[in-house]
Amino acid sequence: MSRRARERKARIVEEALRLLKEYEVIGAADLHKIESRMLQDLRKKLRGKMIFKVIKNTLMRRAMEKLEMPNIEEFFNAIKGQNIFIFYNGNPFELAMTLSRNKVKVFAKPGDVASEEIVIPAGNTGLSPGPILSQLASLGVRTRIESGSIWVARDTVVAKPGDVI
């Protein structure tokens, strides 16, 4: 590892130490499927209330170990992958409620795992008849053509929680 990389990591650990000393509550959120625009909007909306920092798990662990914080192992066993750390002064339940109120649904992409049941509702799709009919049929969606557009005959579950899309 180069000297510059070591120095940069040391600065990140020092900043994490400062934040850990300054804030009472630390939270972590998985960054999987989070677009940078969403993160920027959330940071702007909650500016002044909490601080969001993307820090590698190993560097955050190093900072927490320097402060000899309790339950470090349990904390890092609960989080995997790329995370954002949230620093907050206040009640941890308020933090959880604030984050859950600001949840945003995102469109599923191929290869994603369904977190909840995905249902195609009955009604007009607004789509013109064409190749999409065979794709809908392959998903088991019953359709009919009415007034020059595709209508879904009845609500159809196309994915259950845990299914790969």
Domains along the chain?
Answer: 3-101 (3.30.70.1730), 118-159 (3.90.105.20)
Does the pLDDT value for residue 145 go beyond 80?
A: yes
Query: Model confidence over 14-63: pLDDT tens digits?
Result: 999 999 999 999 999 888 878 888 889 989 988 988 999 999 999 999 99
Say what the pTM is. Answer: 0.69
Residue 25 pLDDT: 93
CA–chain centroid gap for 96, Å, is: 14
The C-alpha atoms of residue 134 and residue 143 are separated, in whole angstroms, by 10
Q: Are 50 and 111 within 8 A, CB to CB?
A: no
What are the Cα distances from residue 63, in Å, to 6, 46, 55, 68, 117?
15, 25, 11, 9, 40
Q: Are 85 and 112 within 8 A, CB to CB?
A: no
Buried b (16+ CB within 10 A) or exposed e, 2-36: eeeeeeeeeebbeebeebbeebebbbbeeeeeeee
Residue 114 pLDDT: 84
Which tokens go with 46? Answer: 């909650």
Determine the 3-state secondary structure of 124 from DSSP.
strand
Q: At what angle do helices 57-66 and 3-22 cross, to 10 degrees?
A: 60
Q: Are 124 and 110 within 8 A, CB to CB?
A: no
118 DSSP β-pair partners: 159
Query: Model confidence over 103-125: pLDDT tens digits?
Result: 877 777 888 888 889 889 999 98
Mean pLDDT of 122-137: 89
